[in-house]
Amino acid sequence: MKLRKKRVTQVATETEAASEGGLVFHPLDQFIPTSLFGDGAVHWYTPSNLTLWLAILVLAVVGVFVLGSRGRGIVPSRIQSVGELMYGFVYKMIEDVTGKDAVKYFPYIMTLFVFVLFANYLALLPMSYSPTSMIAITAVLGFGVFIAITVLGFVKHGTAFLGLFWMKDAPGFLRPIIAIIEVISYFVRPVSLSIRLAGNITAGHVVIKVFAGFAALTLASPAAILGIVAIYGLEILVAGIQAYVFTILTCVYLKDALHPAH
């Protein structure tokens, strides 16, 4: 598949180069899943480049958190201290944002943070594949958080959880209106969570690819390469910030589920 695709893209390049004067943009092709073995269609079970990079992600997590802390050093090794730093960061975030009673959900939130963070950063490697740019993947994460938190809220507080939408401090006639707005904003949460993450990662990767396309022009190439460097630096920030934002919003939503009273 790969070989054949390369040949085909070459053909495409030639034909488009002829028609478009040297500029060829395929910024979205990087998101196409391709089968690792064989050249058939990508079914739900097919091991693809997505599978490969998710496997690398899991291996990286194992490397940092399991192999890195293998020594269990009182004085940590470098990798161990990186793991401990992330542990302390997320733990403190949960304690500060959600409260001390939320510490029992720490493994779930830590898993989310580590997954998104590692996916974002691994996606910045050249030739890699970016799982967090897939809206389906971030939607599963976002809606997973949303459903889990909603279920948790009802299990913990029963119908009192609906008090989250009913502002007792607001004047009486405003309460139904505020309730409608609150309900809408509540249901928008998973959508904004997932689109924010996928949008940020997709946009960054597409912009880098577009700049790379401009690099084919001799005159534009210095500016294009500078642009790639600049956007890459920005993407390094975005990768960390988006993981942080995803996690801290999860903590904020979890706080609503645990303490629905306004």
Partner 1 sequence: MATDTHETVVSACLDSHGGAIGMPQLCGEWIPHQIFWLLVALAATFFVMSRIALPRIAAVLAERSGTITNDLAAAEELKNKAAEAEAAYDKALVDARAQAQQIVAEAKAEIQAELDVELAKADAQIAEKAAESEKAIAEIRDGAVKSVTDVAKATTKELVAAMGGTADAKTITAAVTARMKG
Angle at 140 between CA 135 and CA 141, to 5 degrees: 100
Nearer to partner 1, 119 or 257 (CB): 119
CA atoms within 13 A on the CB side of 147: 6
Q: Nearer Cβ to partner 1, position 28 or 230? A: 28
Instruction: Give the C-alpha separation, 215 to 227, whole Å.
Output: 10
Near partner 1 by CB under 8 A: residue from 17, 20, 23, 33: 33
CA atoms within 13 Å, Cβ hemisphere of 69: 14
Q: Is 198 in the site for partner 1 (CB under 8 A)?
A: yes
Number of neighbours of residue 3 by Cβ within 10 angstroms: 8
Site string for partner 1, 68-107 (x = CB under 8 A): -x--xxx-x---x--xx--xx-----------------xx
Shortest approach of partner 1 to residue 162 CB, angstroms? 30
**Cβ density class 129-146: b for 16+ within 10 Å, e for less:** bbbbbbeebbbebbebbb
58 near partner 1, rule: CB under 8 A: yes
User: Residue numbers of the site for partner 1 (CB under 8 A)?
Assistant: 1, 4-5, 7-9, 11-12, 26, 28-29, 31-33, 39-46, 48, 50-51, 54-55, 57-58, 61-62, 65-66, 69, 72-74, 76, 80, 83-84, 87-88, 106-108, 110-111, 114-115, 131, 133-137, 140-141, 198, 202
